[in-house]
Amino acid sequence: MDSKVSLALIGLSHRTAPLGTRERYVVSQSDLPEVLRALKQVEGIEEVCVISTCNRTEVLVIGRKGTDLPAHVRAQLFRNLPDEQVYAYEDVHALIHLFRVAAGLDSVVIGESEILGQMKRGMEAALAGGTLGSVLKPLMQQALHVGKRVRSETEVGQGTLSVARVGIDMAERVFGRFGSVRVLIAGAGETGVLVARHLKEKGVADLVFTNRTLERAAQAAAEFGGRAFALTELPALTQKSDLLVACIEAEHPTIDVDCFDARSLRRRDRPLLVIDLSVPRAVAPEVAKLDNLILYDLDVLQEVVQKNLAERNEATDSTASILVGELHKFLALRTYASFSPAIAQMRERFEKARDEVLDHVAGAKSSPETVRLAHELTKKQLDIALDSMKQGARHTRSEESLSDEYRRFLENL
């Protein structure tokens, strides 16, 4: 970091504060400009950005070296909160924390990607409020880049964690694209509507609802542009469907083997996929034995969710190298940026020396060729000097030492 400024991150999150406290400290999008303005006016604070979600409220500040930034921010925003509910990280640890937040490693659901949008909104609000400057702006941009890299290069963001979505993922493994898939949703309650919404997003065009009360099915069908039928028509409807999603509330399975015509099942080109999201099960387990039919119930989908969760947790180890690499890159850039006054001075001195030599050697008789040569030579020398400075900036903090720092940070979590 620049030797004249320091970075601090102060906040509370699901790790330190209960939901009730977090709710009280959420900074809404409409309040954000006011909060940013108030923080910017605090003595010693030069740049500020606020990230606020239902799980965390964090303030990222750049201030003059020597200023007790955490104390100022606490006094301004987190007054009357017990010490253990508010955390404060400074300099490299603040960077590590920010990158981990962007990567979704500090989220309730590891790898969730909503945080990137929330950080982006925080950054845009700070930009609009004029509280982002030459340090925080590139830092926030780099944090967003880290978040995207971690999700694309590791398994952290992979695998769905909602049962309904896992069901749709399963359907995707059968049908690929949903454009030509005929979907039958049995049960037009909350889950049925949620599934319909997901499927609509995926591009399903042919959607049929069936429900005990036809009125409710008709309501859902009207909302999603589908067709509605009574539940009694289910056997006939299954013959014309590729995907049956059951979300029926009943004490005993409503959909049994008799609801399917085994002969027509065997003759259909695509297999029929049946997803049972009901608790207790609405589809009798024997249905799975039918030929050319695949049945997944809640237990199966829940297993997939657990597996995805375990894989995400496992994948967090592989993010360390990305985070440390990006940290190193950012610090090198900051160090190099802090050289800019010296670079400007050096450029000036090089050019002055060149002009003096030109005057001394050739005086007024110097040919355009000599002048061009002198300019080229100076430029080349300056480039070499700047390159050495860049190399130096890169070695100010080695990746190994940052790796150790990262390990220490994790140990203190």
Partner 1 sequence: MLQPLAVALPVGYIVAALLHGMAFGGTRAPHVTRERVWVLRLTLAAHMLWFWALAETLQSFPVVDIASTVSAVVLVSALMYGLLARSVKHAGSGGVVLGLAALLQLSASAFVNLHPLPRLAAPTAPLGPTQIVHVSLSVVATASLLLSGVHGTLYLVLFRLMKRRNFGPVFEHLPDLDLLARLTRGAALVGFLCLTIGMNLGIYLAHSEQRPGFNYRETEVVLSILTWLYFGVIAFSKRIPGFTARRASMAAAVGLSVLLLSTFLLFFPRLAFHSNL
Residue from 79, 252, 267, 365 binding partner 1 (CB under 8 A): 267
> CA distances (Å), 149 to each of 29, 145, 155, 332, 334, in order?
27, 6, 11, 19, 21
Binding flag, residue 161, partner 1 (CB under 8 A)? no
Question: Strands, E, within 74-215: which ranges?
Answer: 87-90, 182-186, 206-211
Binding flag, residue 155, partner 1 (CB under 8 A)? yes
Footprint (CB under 8 A) of partner 1, residues 306-365? 307, 311, 314-315
Binding flag, residue 37, partner 1 (CB under 8 A)? no
Q: By C-beta, is 124 or 311 nearer to partner 1?
A: 311
Structure tokens at 104: 């979704």
Q: By C-beta, is 176 or 392 nearer to partner 1?
A: 176
| Separation between Cα atoms, residue 163 and residue 305, nearest integer Å | 7
Binding flag, residue 233, partner 1 (CB under 8 A)? no
Of 72-80, 186-194, 302-310, 377-385, the segment contacting partner 1 by CB under 8 A is: 302-310
Written as one string, the DSSP assignment of 297-351 is: EHHHHHHHHHHHHHHHHHHGGGGHHHHHHHHHHHHHHHHHHHTHHHHHHHHHHHH
Cis bond upstream, residue 280 (ω within 30): yes
Of 39-47, 119-127, 290-298, 366-374, the segment contacting partner 1 by CB under 8 A is: 290-298
Q: For this structure, is 54 an active site residue?
A: yes
Binding flag, residue 260, partner 1 (CB under 8 A)? no
Binding flag, residue 172, partner 1 (CB under 8 A)? yes
How many H-runs (helices) and E-runs (strands) does the chain carry?
16, 10
Residue 143: partners with Cβ closer than 8 Å, 6 or more residues away: 98, 99, 101, 102, 119
Structure tokens at 189: 């309650």
Q: By C-beta, is 36 or 283 nearer to partner 1?
A: 283
Number of residues located near partner 1, criterion CB under 8 A: 26
Q: Are 93 and 38 in contact (CB under 8 A)?
A: no
Q: By C-beta, is 303 or 387 nearer to partner 1?
A: 303
Residues carrying an active site annotation: 54
The residue ranges that bind partner 1 (CB under 8 A) are 153, 155, 158, 172-177, 266-271, 288, 292, 294, 296, 300, 303-304, 307, 311, 314-315
